[in-house]
Structure 1
Amino acid sequence: MSSEELSSSITDWFFFNSWWLLLPFVMLLVIAAFIVAFVLLLYMISPLISPKPFKLNGAHVVVTGGSSGIGKSIAMECYRQGAFITLVARDETKLVLAKKEVEKCAINDKQVVLCISVDVSSDYGQVESVIKQAQEKLGPVDMLVNCAGTSIAGKFEEVDMDRFKKMMEVNFLGSVYPTRAVITTMKERRMGRIMFVSSQAGQIGLFGYTAYSPSKFALRGLAESLQMEMKPYNIYVTVAYPPDTDTPGFVEENKTKPLETRLISETAAVCQPDQVAKIFVKDTVQGNFNSSVGPDGYMLSALTCGMSPVTSITEGLQQIVTMGLFRTIALFYLCSFDSIVRRCMIQRERAKAADKRE
């Protein structure tokens, strides 16, 4: 074999084998290009499968727990967008004051604020009756905001047994009854929005919330089941997860919070009700199933999405991509919470030991 032939054979051999070496990189490029094209396609078709935004102008919005806090702020936000409002709460005095505040947000002289005093957790027949009255005056309910709720913080063995029952009655049944009262009409009209105001304590169980958290977790189960039933009727359900928010209820809750609960809560900022209300109303109008506030809220919603429905393919992709990272971050949070609980326990034991020595 001549030197030229040998050189040519060597060149051919390297050329042939170099392709094998480059093949994995070529495959990676093809896969990457496919993924990019797939994601772009999903972004393009996502608006086609998402629910159409709901218009609040002229709509009838019922807000339970609307006399104060987040409920009142939601009513004000809806009123700013032209809605007719029915405020539902127990305290007539607070309702009258709330009505005056909501009316200041009017954008036209046709808008009306109706007040109804009733305990939405006590008797379904009574709730059904007052909702019927509201619909006779302001028309069918287009959007229901279940915001009536209460909270208590305390160690499991220190919470009175009747408080566990009260939490489920107010926070869970207090949402079931109004929803049941409006759902038939919504199905007949093939339209509607329902918001359940849960809590970040309805996404993660925390020290001191053994009575409160289960009642808020229950709302998610209700919402997921209800959404599957109502979606064919163009009715969309939203579960809102507010963080600690500067409301009268939050102030009252702080009076009974154990030290551990207070220290854990202080790891996140306290939000303002108007800020929270704007986000919740926007998500409900758009038909989003989950509604959260801030980076912590977004992370919790992604982490706990499980089998929750999504209203766009984009949302589902975001959850898939971020799940691993958020779980890693969450583990650090959980370690921090456990550390707080252990430190508080050690401090109490030392204090008890010191008292015994004295």
Structure 2
Amino acid sequence: MTPPARPKLASAHAIITGGSSGIGLATAHLLVSRGAAVSLVARGRERLEAAAAELRSSGGTVAFRTADVCDKAAVETAFTDLERELGKPCDVLVTSAGVARPGNFLDLPDEVFHEMMTVDYFGTLHCMRAVLPGMTQRRRGSVVAVSSAAGLMGIFGYGAYGPAKFAVRGLMESLRAEMAPYGVHVGVVFPPDVNTPQLVEENRWKPEETRAIAGTIRPLSPEQVAAAIVAGMERRRFVICPDIGTRVLARWGGVLAPVLNAEFDRRVRKVRRHRSRTCTD
């Protein structure tokens, strides 16, 4: 059997959710440089207009629509409009829209758990449901979802966010198996902390213990993650890891989990001992 052809990005129409900033915008820049036409989807019109102007200034063919990925009907309408505007169906989908809200499990309100699942999981699901029927009919395409390193291993402080990203991982594992007979590439990305506006917001809520677990690891740039995403598409990879840490975790996490958990627990105890001494001084 002839293996499926690699995506021809130079003639592709790529739809990117969360495309007005961060990983989404960096991926759009890279795809435009490969000759793809790019459609951006996000909630904020001003940032979308600015992102589109930025991409067009580098010679890109760009369209955009405002839509909330939590709204299935809005996603379907936006995608249909974008396909009509650019005159071609979606060949590539990257779902980078998402939110992260860390916090202690016992302190987080129920609404946060619902929001993480609604935005991160269902926001990914709605987009996949919108494009995969057409891709299977055409027997080509590439869909890539952004999960997280927190979708590879449970981490202190991510009791709401982590399960949603695990759900994205599970969805994409199922889709990989179902889409393979149609020649559609399925990938999932596991970035660690990335230097984006989302990380700035996330850092407002991180417990000290979560910060201690992260240690002194520097966040990746959005461009590093975008490069991994595009390379993953071109090489038809399922697991896409933009750094050595997540590559090791994705490959050997099951074996390393006891060692990593012991080290993370040690860091948590250290933070709590320091807090206890500070409170008694």
How far is 1:58 from its partner? 1.7
Q: Which has the larger radius of gyration?
A: 1
How far is 1:101 from its partner? 2.0
Spell out the pairing of 1:52-63 with structure 2 (5 A cutoff).
52-63=5-16
What is the rounded CA distance, in whole Å, between the counterparts of 2:164 and 2:129 in structure 1? 18
What is the rounded CA distance, in whole Å, between the counterparts of 2:109 and 2:2 in structure 1? 48
CA displacement, residues 211-243 of structure 1 (integer Å, 9 cap, x when unaligned): 000000001110011111111111111000111
Aligned match of 2:267: 340
What is the rounded CA distance, in whole Å, between the counterparts of 1:49 and 1:244 in structure 2? 39
Q: Is 1:243 the counterpart of 2:192 in the alignment?
A: yes
- Correspondent of 1:128 among 62, 68, 76: 76
CA displacement, residues 121-163 of structure 1 (integer Å, 9 cap, x when unaligned): 1x21221111111111221000000111000111001111101
> Which sits farther off after the overlay, 207-216 or 338-347?
338-347
What is the rounded CA distance, in whole Å, between the counterparts of 2:58 and 2:92 in structure 1? 18
Q: 1:105 to 1:303 in 2, by over 3 A?
A: farther
Q: Is 1:287 the counterpart of 2:232 in the alignment?
A: no
- Correspondent of 1:84 among 32, 37, 40: 37
For 1:131, the aligned partner's letter is: F
Unaligned stretches of 5+ residues in structure 1: 1-47, 305-322
Look up the SS of the partner of 2:65 in the other structure: strand
For 1:70, the aligned partner's letter is: I
Among all aligned residue pairs of Structure 1 and Structure 2, give the percentage whose two residues are the same amino acid.
39
Q: Is 1:205 the counterpart of 2:132 in the alignment?
A: no
TM-score normalized with structure 1 length = 0.75
Look up the SS of the partner of 2:11 in the other structure: coil
Look up the SS of the partner of 2:10 in the other structure: coil
Spell out the pairing of 1:260-271 with structure 2 (5 A cutoff).
260-271=209-220
Higher helix share: 1
> Which sits farther off after the overlay, 95-104 or 70-79?
95-104
Aligned length, in residue pairs: 280
Look up the SS of the partner of 2:39 in the other structure: strand
Unaligned stretches of 5+ residues in structure 2: none
What is the rounded CA distance, in whole Å, between the counterparts of 2:90 and 2:18 in structure 1? 16
Spell out the pairing of 1:1-358 with structure 2 (5 A cutoff).
51-106=4-59, 111-121=60-70, 123-138=71-86, 139-304=88-253, 327-328=255-256, 331-352=258-279, 354=280
For 1:100, the aligned partner's letter is: A
Look up the SS of the partner of 1:114 in the other structure: strand
Look up the SS of the partner of 2:246 in the other structure: helix
For 1:205, the aligned partner's letter is: G
Higher relative contact order (CA 8 A, sep 6+): 2
What is the rounded CA distance, in whole Å, between the counterparts of 1:197 and 1:292 in structure 2? 10
How far is 1:335 from its partner? 2.2
How far is 1:349 from its partner? 3.0
For 2:83, the aligned partner's letter is: Q
What is the rounded CA distance, in whole Å, between the counterparts of 1:332 and 1:220 in structure 2? 23
For 1:95, the aligned partner's letter is: L
8 Å Cα contact 1:60/1:142 also seen in 2: yes
CA displacement, residues 86-124 of structure 1 (integer Å, 9 cap, x when unaligned): 000000011011112222333xxxx42101001011x21
